[in-house]
Amino acid sequence: MFRSVTERVTRAVEVLLPKATADAACPPDPYTECKEMSGTCFCRNCSTNGACKVVCGAWYSMSHNYC
């Protein structure tokens, strides 16, 4: 009897509440990307978003010694 009531309550909860699912996400993993062009070092900050896509900011100039 007790098990039957528990099973019915469990089933009612499963019907009323949506099942939670989670997608795997990538860690943010920030890094700086640099390149030298025409004697000037340009860098930008990048990271990986939750959808596993690389997102980078605008390029900015650094001292030549940085590259």
Of the pLDDT bands very low, low, confident and very high (cuts 50, 70, 90), residue 21 is low
Query: In the numeric block, which tokens belong to residue 45?
Result: 């900050």
Q: Which of 44, 67, 47 is nearest to 57 (CA)?
A: 44
Of the pLDDT bands very low, low, confident and very high (cuts 50, 70, 90), residue 58 is very high
Judge whether residue 24 has pLDDT over 70.
Answer: no
Domain ranges of the chain: 21-67
Q: Compute the average pLDDT of residues 34-41.
A: 89
Q: Tell me, what's the pLDDT at 63? A: 76
Judge whether residue 41 has pLDDT over 80.
Answer: yes
Model-level pTM? Answer: 0.56
